[in-house]
């Protein structure tokens, strides 16, 4: 990939870029290798809270000045926190790349963390937490990971707890920021009409601190937990996930798992969508998911339906699992799934932000920018035998966990 380059500065800052000369815009991401899995019970949620706080002003810019400086040129600024990373990113026209770079570099290096701002933002984040709690479609995924990752920091919700959110102050935030927002923990990813040398020059100018290092290492996930849980909420539908932990980014079998997951429940041609929604009209939403981390993934089936139809939907899901465990799929179906994955992958790369995210994830998980052709070739290489072998392992009923969110008077609870 001649248009992709990687440079590491003497202070540890890594710059990865992809030059796309025919565009007039860019996406720029400042990534820190820090997330919920790097926290503890007392500070869980602090990575996400700091992400919010970095938009509240620096020593030289107020919160309004931060947004005005970017938006007055038609640009866009945002951020997200995951269980493994925190990313601050901006989009804009190429002529305004330096402006966006300068604002982001100021935000991540010089946060104010004023107690008055912290108190106010705590209310905002608690409101966000309650929105999640009110939304079973979102809550169930947090609860499922809490269950299957039990005993490991991957079980922690990204947003944290209300108690923790209310406990943060200027001192705790500055301390965590200093320990984790180190230059050797920073990756700058750029996609668009920006020469690599321009990004490197700006990084050298605006990140001048000396290198600091930490011996902090992540604890790998090793324990497979199987559990069943029912959560009561005042809702009309029954929401359910059936799934397990499996191969992470560091395992090549993850590509085979992607094919299996897609065949089973991704898109309206998938088996579960056809059997449950199209043929029987029993659910509005049913799909598989694959949430991947460095050393482990969470794979499963999510659906929502009414109480009377829940048992029938579960029966069909288990029936489809059994079919995949016992019968080889037709090569025609496998080829359709592969083309679907490849098409979605290539179309997603028409967006510079997706490309920027792919660059960063590629460096984090593989230590280099993996050409997209390599990924597509791995998908193409999956065989009928691979899918059967993987199904026997991953869709083994004795290894699957189940979580249900339903109303208090639901008969599912009585049957359980």
Tens of pLDDT along 31-52? 999 999 999 999 999 999 999 9
Residue 413 has pLDDT above 70, yes or no: no
* 320 plus 401 within the same structural domain: yes
* 58 plus 19 within the same structural domain: yes
* 47 plus 175 within the same structural domain: yes
Domain that holds residue 267: 228-415
Residue 414 has pLDDT above 50, yes or no: no
* 199 plus 232 within the same structural domain: no
Three-state SS for 118? helix
Q: Is residue 107 part of a domain?
A: yes
pTM for this predicted structure: 0.95
CATH, residue 315? 3.30.830.10
Angle among Cα 337, 350, 17 to the nearest 5 degrees reads: 115
Specify the DSSP element, H or E, that contains 279.
none
Per-residue confidence at 408, pLDDT binned at 50, 70, 90? confident
Residue 415 pLDDT? 46
Residue 295 pLDDT? 96
Per the structure, the count of domains in the chain is 2
DSSP per position, 34-58: --GGG--TTTTTHHHHHHHHTTSBB
User: What percent of the chain stands above pLDDT 90?
Assistant: 94
Q: Which of 103-117, 284-298, 356-370, 396-410 has the lowest mean pLDDT?
A: 396-410
Asked if residues 307 and 405 have their Cβ atoms less than 8 Å apart, the reply is: no
Q: Is residue 213 part of a domain?
A: no
Interval 68-125: pLDDT, tens = 999 999 999 999 999 999 999 999 999 999 999 999 999 999 999 999 999 999 999 9
* 18 plus 153 within the same structural domain: yes
* 131 plus 271 within the same structural domain: no
Residue 353 has pLDDT above 80, yes or no: yes
CA-closest candidate to residue 205, choices 61, 111, 109, 113 = 109
Asked if residues 303 and 286 have their Cβ atoms less than 8 Å apart, the reply is: yes
* 182 plus 232 within the same structural domain: no
Interval 295-321: pLDDT, tens = 999 999 999 999 999 999 999 999 999
Q: Is residue 323 part of a domain?
A: yes
Q: Is residue 53 part of a domain?
A: yes
Residue 412 has pLDDT above 70, yes or no: no
Q: Is residue 218 part of a domain?
A: no
Per-residue confidence at 213, pLDDT binned at 50, 70, 90? confident
Please say which residue of 206, 237, 268 terminates a domain: 206
Residue 212 pLDDT? 79
The pLDDT of 233-251, averaged and rounded, is: 96
Asked if residues 318 and 398 have their Cβ atoms less than 8 Å apart, the reply is: no
Residue 190 has pLDDT above 50, yes or no: yes
Asked if residues 49 and 160 have their Cβ atoms less than 8 Å apart, the reply is: yes
Q: Is residue 214 part of a domain?
A: no
Please say which residue of 173, 206, 239 terminates a domain: 206
* 279 plus 164 within the same structural domain: no
* 184 plus 263 within the same structural domain: no
* 152 plus 270 within the same structural domain: no
Residues with a catalytic annotation lie at 51
């Amino acid at each position: 990939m001649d248009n992709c380059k990687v440079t590491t500065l003497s202070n540890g800052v890594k710059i990865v870029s992809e030059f796309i000369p025919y565009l007039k815009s860019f996406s720029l991401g400042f990534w820190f290798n820090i997330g919920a899995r790097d926290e503890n019970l007392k500070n869980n949620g602090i990575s996400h809270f700091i992400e919010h706080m970095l938009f509240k002003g620096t020593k030289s810019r107020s919160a309004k000045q931060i947004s005005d400086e970017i938006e007055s040129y038609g640009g866009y600024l945002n951020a997200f926190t995951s269980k493994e990373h925190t990313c601050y990113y901006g989009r804009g026209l190429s002529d305004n790349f330096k402006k966006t770079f300068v604002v982001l570099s100021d935000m991540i290096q010089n946060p104010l963390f004023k107690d008055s701002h912290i108190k106010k933002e705590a209310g905002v984040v608690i409101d966000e937490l309650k929105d999640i709690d009110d939304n079973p479609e979102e809550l169930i995924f947090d609860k499922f990971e809490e269950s299957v990752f039990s005993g490991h920091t991957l079980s922690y919700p990204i947003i944290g707890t209300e108690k923790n959110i209310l406990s943060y102050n200027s001192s705790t935030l500055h301390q965590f920021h200093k320990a984790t927002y180190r230059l050797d923990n920073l990756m700058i990813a750029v996609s668009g009409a920006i020469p690599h040398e321009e990004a490197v020059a700006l990084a050298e100018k605006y990140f001048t601190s000396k290198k600091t290092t930490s011996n902090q290492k992540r604890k790998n996930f090793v324990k497979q937990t199987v559990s069943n849980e029912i959560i009561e909420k005042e809702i009309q539908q029954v929401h359910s996930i059936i799934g397990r932990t499996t191969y992470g980014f560091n395992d090549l079998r993850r590509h085979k798992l992607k094919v299996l997951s897609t065949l089973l429940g991704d898109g309206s041609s998938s088996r579960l969508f056809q059997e449950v929604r199209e043929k029987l009209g029993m659910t509005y939403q049913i799909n598989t998911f694959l949430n991947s981390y460095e050393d482990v993934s969470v794979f499963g089936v999510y659906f929502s339906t009414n109480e009377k139809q829940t048992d029938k939907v579960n029966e069909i899901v288990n029936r489809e699992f059994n079919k995949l465990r016992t019968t080889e799929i037709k090569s025609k179906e496998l080829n359709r799934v592969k083309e679907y994955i490849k098409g979605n992958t290539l179309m997603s790369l028409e967006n510079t932000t997706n490309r920027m995210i792919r660059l960063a994830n590629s460096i984090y998980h593989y230590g280099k920018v993996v050409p997209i052709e390599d990924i597509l070739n791995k998908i193409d290489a999956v065989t009928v035998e691979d899918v059967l072998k993987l199904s026997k392992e991953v869709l083994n009923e004795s290894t699957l966990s189940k979580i249900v969110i339903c109303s208090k008077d639901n008969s599912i609870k009585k049957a359980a």
